[in-house]
C-alpha cells in the first residue's frame, strides 16, 4: 500500500490501498464495491483540527459527560422548538 491518510481494505478479497484524502478513497471504495459487490472497510488516520473539535464537542468519543455544552457547534434547542 502507498502512504496516505485514508486506508481502504476489502473484506472479501486482496484489494486495498491508501489515499491522501477522503474524496479519492471514497471514489475507489465505491468503484470496487459496485464492480464486485464486496464489502470494503476503511480507516481515517486523522482529520482536520476543526473536525476533531466538533467531534469532541459533540461527545462523539462515547464517554458520558464529555460533551462540551458551551460549544457553538451544538444545537442547544429542545426538540419541540423545531
pLDDT digits (tens, 9 = 90+) for 44-80: 777 777 777 777 777 666 566 667 777 776 665 666 6
Q: Is the pLDDT of residue 28 over 50?
A: yes
Q: Is the pLDDT of residue 81 over 60?
A: no
Q: Alpha carbon of 38 to those of 19, 73, 80: distances in Å?
A: 19, 36, 42
SS3 62: coil
- Mean per-residue pLDDT, 3-24: 86
For residue 1, the model assigns a pLDDT of: 47
For residue 76, the model assigns a pLDDT of: 59
CA-closest candidate to residue 67, choices 11, 75, 27? 75
- Mean per-residue pLDDT, 5-13: 89
Count CB-CB contacts under 10 A for residue 6: 22
The Cα 81–Cα 36 span in angstroms is: 46
The Cα 61–Cα 16 span in angstroms is: 27
Amino acid at each position: 500500500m502507498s502512504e496516505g491518510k485514508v486506508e481502504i481494505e476489502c473484506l472479501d478479497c486482496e484489494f486495498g490501498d491508501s489515499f491522501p484524502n477522503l474524496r479519492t478513497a471514497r471514489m475507489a471504495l465505491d468503484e470496487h464495491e459496485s464492480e464486485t459487490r464486496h464489502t470494503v472497510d476503511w480507516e481515517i488516520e486523522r482529520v482536520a483540527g476543526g473536525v476533531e473539535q466538533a467531534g469532541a464537542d459533540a461527545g462523539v468519543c462515547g464517554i458520558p459527560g464529555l460533551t462540551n455544552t458551551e460549544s457553538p457547534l451544538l444545537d442547544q434547542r429542545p426538540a419541540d422548538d423545531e
